[in-house]
Amino acid sequence: MNKEEIITITKSFLSDEFEINSNKIISENNFHQTLDLDSLDYVDLVVVIEENFGFKPTSDDFKTIISFNDFYDLVDKKLK
Amino acid sequence: MEKRVVITGIGIYSSIGIGKNEVLDSLRMGKSGIIYDKEREEFGYRSKLTGMVKKPDLKPFLSRRERIGMHQPAMYAYMATKEALEQAKLESDYMSKNETGIIYGNDSTAGAVIETIDKVRKRKDTTLIGSGDIFQNMNCTVNMNLSTIFKLKGINLSLSAACASGSHSIGMGYLLIKQGLQERIVCGGAQEINLYAMASFDGLGTFSTRHEEPTKASRPFDLNRDGLVPSGGAATIIIESLESAKKRNATILGEIISYGFSSNGDHISNPNLDGQYRSLQMALSQAKLDPKLIDYINAHATSTPIGDSTEAQAIYSVFGSKTPVSSTKSMTGHECWMAGASEIAYSLLMMKYNFIAPNINLENPDENSKKINIIAEYKEKNIDILLSNSFGFGGTNSSLIIKRFIK
């Protein structure tokens, strides 16, 4: 899966599952602030990431993510 | 000083209509909400009959977070409560500043629990269930969801009392307001409709198998009845102190004047004449009413031979042969946890529009039912005082008396 595919899939599940406006999902934007998720939402985020990319991010993984770009890099790394 | 308790809003999501207007038409026409459900045939149900409601689309009203903790009971209850609060002119902003409680009847979340467990069985990992399921799975699902959504800050609990849950919820709310402990309470009952909810009940062999005529299957008091038909949805009744209703300039739909209750302390599923009699007598004595003053009885009668017959005996022993009686379950089927609340809603519509909804499918009353005045056809009738019975497994009984509001 290349990065473009990762971005497309991510935009799709974030807008479908979390009702996030896909226009706000820009690589440089802050991942956590844009999604504005509470602790319960992170449980669901793990579920959709596992469903779409086949791995479960840990809380330590989330701590390394600042921008959406960081998230795409994390997915890319985990898939390799 | 005891407070007077009035009703200022009703909302209904039922097999005979979505909202009061559709339900009113069905009650007048004697329209059945019972269908043959093909899925039940494939699943192994003995009876394939059920009342049916469509899944509500909540997206226009609620956020994702508000929706994901809801399965059928909470979804249906939300729709009914939204309607009831609109009629009562109660908005979330007002309720967040003026204590409002919720006591809602519910006695199962089978569909939600099984769907959750199936996810774990498939994926072998509880962290992949997601965050919403726990709030769907618990029996207090309606209370958790609605108190959060509507910003309710008073009493907050679910009432689980089998097929009398909805009725007891109104009764308990009535007592709290009467004592001055609450100003207003959202009461009601919800009943899930899915394959998992009623399978074990169906296994008892107490459901009708009149598959060739679904709309004629629920026939309370009729000699040829062969069992009840399960159904579901939700009904909400907003109750409040007379002072609160007047202060808010709310329209008053009726006044609750008594709540009788009893437990049979006997068989777990069979009805009991003494228990029903005591519930009725308690309601009448609390209201200090001569039984002859009751203009209409909405019977619990579910269309089971032993249940209807016992209730007919109880009604005859207390009211004699003249008081008009009908069971709206002839149209709706047995709405179980919801029934005690929905039947108050149906009865209030009859009171408002001066008619008695027919006990449809009554062709030949059985021996005990012949002794009471069952209304089998639509009848115009002024109703000033009505009584609604609800009885449940475990021998729990509830009788509510409601009076037309007079200043």
Tell me what pLDDT residue B154 has: 98
Minimal Cβ distance to B131: which of A19, A40, A50: A40
Catalytic option among B71, B140, B187, B334: B334
- CA-angle at B285, arms to B282 and B286, nearest 5°: 80
Q: Which residues of B touch A (CB under 8 A)?
A: 63-65, 68, 127-132
Catalytic option among B163, B168, B187, B336: B163
Q: Summarize pLDDT for B97-152 with one digit per residue, the tens.
A: 999 999 999 999 999 999 999 999 999 999 999 999 999 999 999 999 999 999 99
What CA–CA distance (Å, rounded) separates B173 from B223?
37
What CA–CA distance (Å, rounded) separates A49 from B63?
21
Please report the DSSP string for B230-293 in residue order: B--EEEEEEEEEHHHHHHTTPPP-EEEEEEEEEE--S-SSS--HHHHHHHHHHHHHHHT--GGG
Residue B300 is among the residues annotated as catalytic for this protein: yes
Query: Which residues are within 8 A (CB) of A79 and not within 5 positions of it... i.e. 6 or more apart?
Result: A1, A6, A53, A54, A55
For residues B168-200, one letter each, b for 16 or more C-beta atoms within 10 angstroms of the residue's C-beta and e for the rest, the string is bbbbbbbebbbeeebbbbbbbbbbbbbbbbbbe
Tell me what pLDDT residue A50 has: 97
Residue B334 is among the residues annotated as catalytic for this protein: yes
Tokens of B406: 């007079």
pTM of the full predicted structure? 0.97
Whether A1 shows a pLDDT value over 90: the answer reads no
- How many Cβ pairs within 8 Å bridge chains A and B? 25
Whether A80 shows a pLDDT value over 90: the answer reads no
Distance of CA A17 to the CA centre of its chain: 12
For chain B, domains (ranges, CATH) are: 5-247 (3.40.47.10), 260-403 (3.40.47.10)
Q: What is the mean pLDDT of residues B300-329?
A: 96
Whether B397 shows a pLDDT value over 90: the answer reads yes
Question: Which of the following CATH numbers is that of domain A3-79: 3.60.15.10, 1.10.1200.10, 3.40.50.300, 1.10.3720.10?
Answer: 1.10.1200.10
pLDDT tier at B1 (50, 70, 90 boundaries)? Answer: confident
Provide φ and ψ at B256, rounded to 5°.
-80, 125
Please report the DSSP string for B284-345 in residue order: HHHHT--GGG--EEE----S-HHHHHHHHHHHHHHHTT-SEEE-THHHH-B-GGGHHHHHHH
Instruction: Supply the ipTM of this predicted assembly.
Output: 0.93
Helix residue spans in chain A (DSSP H): 3-18, 31-35, 39-53, 59-63, 68-79
Please answer yes or no on whether B131 and A56 come within 8 Å at the CB atom: no
Where are chain A's structural domains?
3-79
Tell me what pLDDT residue B407 has: 81
Judged by a CB distance cut-off of 8 A, whether residue A50 touches chain B is yes
Q: Summarize pLDDT for B50-75 with one digit per residue, the tens.
A: 999 999 999 999 999 999 999 999 99
Question: Chain A: nearest CA to B237, how far in angstroms?
Answer: 32
Q: Which amino acid is at B244?
A: S
Q: Summarize pLDDT for B336-371 with one digit per residue, the tens.
A: 999 999 999 999 999 999 999 999 999 999 999 999
Query: Which residues are within 8 A (CB) of B36 and not within 5 positions of it... i.e. 6 or more apart?
Result: B48, B49, B211, B214
